[in-house]
Amino acid sequence: MTRKRKILIVCGTAIATSTVVALKVEELLKRAGIPAELKRCMTSEAKSASKGVDLIISTTQVPDVNVTVLSGIPYITGMNIPKLEQEILDILNQLPE
C-alpha cells in the first residue's frame, strides 16, 4: 500500500487562499490515486508545522524550511495550473514508500 503523503498548505491566515488550494490539490490527488493528508496553516506557523511533511504548497513567502515548497498561486490565478500539478505529482511520486 502506498504511504499517505503529507502536504502542508500555507497562506497568510490559513483561511481563504489555503482553502482554495487545498480543494484543488485534493481533487488532483484523488484523480491520480495518491493518498494524502492535507493540513493548512498560517505563514507564521509554517516552520514548526513543516516537520514531517513531504511537500509545502504556499500562496505566500515561506520561511526557511527543509521541505520542498511550491507556489500555489497558479490555483488562485488560473494560470500555469498543468505545470504546477505536474510538479506536485512528480515530487510525490518520487518519495519513498
Catalytic, out of 7, 8, 9, 11: 11
The residues, ordered by sequence, that sit 6+ positions from 36 with a Cβ below 8 Å of its Cβ are 4, 5, 6, 7, 25, 26, 29, 92
41 flagged as catalytic: no
Using alpha carbons, list the distances in angstroms from residue 52 to 19, 63, 81.
21, 16, 26
- The residues carrying an active-site annotation are 11
